[in-house]
């Protein structure tokens, strides 16, 4: 029923021009790609449409990557990186970066709220998997965060210049990928539930008639007693309903009132289709 969700997974850096951070023989671009593909695979297995900015060792500028994401018209842009400290070996743990300001996007401020929400979910899952969560950081200078129109986050999956973090990266690689994917999936399903509830109302149904005139008769009776009634008719039935409430307590109050006046009632919760 819901349109398929689309996520851009961006493996940071790439190609000979941009290996990212380098520590001994280890190049960030390789770790990023491996993790990006693993995260993407889990998302795909869970019904998400995944768009990768790269699936092998190629270079595109951050501007090109942001443009790819914008063209893909995805729900979120998730960039995968590994961190490096100013002094090698001094940093440890995972963190998630967001732009932090109001982006040039149709939804403006809401876009950044959603990015922050996603970052929080990812961090929560990472710490649940046993990684040290360093938190959410605002980085308005990063092109892939600033130039993407959709909510964008950048995950720093541990420090590449820290042998201990690298050991965890290898030993807990599957958990790391699963944590990031779960953070994304939870965010998407939370939004789907929210969207599903939009436009849903409690209504009290007092009758359903095959003959429209009978429904109209009951409607007139309701209206004469001051009830806000209306008809919902399809090919078979004309249903007589009263009120449309977001709040169940208010709907229950109305239902009691109707019963006191002798109307039979059924509580309905559905998209208002007047």
Q: Which residue has the tokens 């960030």?
A: 28
By the 10 Å C-beta count (0-12 exposed, 13-18 middle, 19+ buried), 34 is classed as middle
Q: Shortest gap between Cβ of 188 and Zn ion (angstroms)?
A: 25
Q: Shortest gap between Cβ of 166 and Zn ion (angstroms)?
A: 15
* Residue 81 vs 114, nearer CB to Zn ion: 81
* Residue 142 vs 222, nearer CB to Zn ion: 142
* Residue 148 vs 206, nearer CB to Zn ion: 148
Q: Shortest gap between Cβ of 151 and Zn ion (angstroms)?
A: 19
Half-sphere exposure of 39 (CA within 13 A, CB side): 33
* Residue 30 vs 75, nearer CB to Zn ion: 30
Q: Which residue has the tokens 């440890």?
A: 92
Q: Cα(29)–Cα(53) distance, rounded to whole angstroms?
A: 13
* Residue 17 vs 261, nearer CB to Zn ion: 17
Sort strands 238-245 and 152-159 into parallel, antiparallel or unpaired: unpaired
To the nearest 10°, report the CA torsion of 9, 10, 14, 17: 160
Q: Shortest gap between Cβ of 122 and Zn ion (angstroms)?
A: 16
Q: Cα(66)–Cα(244) distance, rounded to whole angstroms?
A: 43
Q: Shortest gap between Cβ of 156 and Zn ion (angstroms)?
A: 8
Q: Which residue is nearest to Zn ion (CB)?
A: 81
Integer CA distances (angstroms), 201 to 176, 229, 230, 237, 271, in order: 40, 14, 14, 20, 6
Which residues in this chain contact Zn ion in the complex, by CB under 5 A? 12, 20, 81
């Amino acid at each position: 029923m819901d349109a398929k969700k689309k996520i851009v997974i961006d493996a940071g850096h790439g190609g000979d021009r941009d290996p990212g951070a380098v520590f001994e023989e280890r190049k960030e671009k390789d770790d990023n790609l491996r993790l990006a593909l693993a995260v993407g695979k889990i998302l795909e297995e869970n019904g998400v449409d995944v768009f990768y900015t790269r699936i092998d060792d190629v270079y595109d500028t951050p501007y090109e990557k942001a443009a790819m994401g914008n063209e893909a018209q995805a729900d979120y842009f998730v960039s995968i990186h590994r961190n490096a400290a100013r002094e090698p070996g001094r940093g440890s743990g995972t963190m998630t970066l967001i732009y932090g300001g109001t982006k040039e996007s149709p939804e403006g401020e809401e876009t950044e709220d959603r990015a922050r929400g996603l970052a929080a979910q990812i961090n929560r899952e990472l710490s649940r998997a046993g990684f040290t969560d360093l938190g959410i950081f605002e980085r308005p200078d990063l092109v892939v965060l600033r130039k993407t129109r959709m909510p964008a986050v950048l995950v720093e999956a541990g420090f590449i210049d820290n042998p201990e973090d690298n050991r965890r990266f290898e030993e807990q690689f599957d958990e790391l990928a699963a944590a990031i994917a779960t953070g994304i999936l939870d965010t998407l399903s939370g939004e789907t539930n929210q969207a599903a509830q939009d436009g849903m109302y409690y209504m009290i149904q007092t009758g359903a008639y095959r003959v429209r005139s009978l429904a109209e008769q009951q409607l007139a009776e309701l209206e004469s007693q001051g009830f806000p009634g209306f008809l919902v008719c399809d090919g078979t039935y004309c249903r007589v309903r009263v009120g449309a409430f977001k709040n169940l307590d208010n709907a229950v109050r109305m239902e009691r009132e109707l019963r006191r006046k002798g109307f039979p009632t059924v509580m309905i919760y559905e998209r208002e289709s007047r």
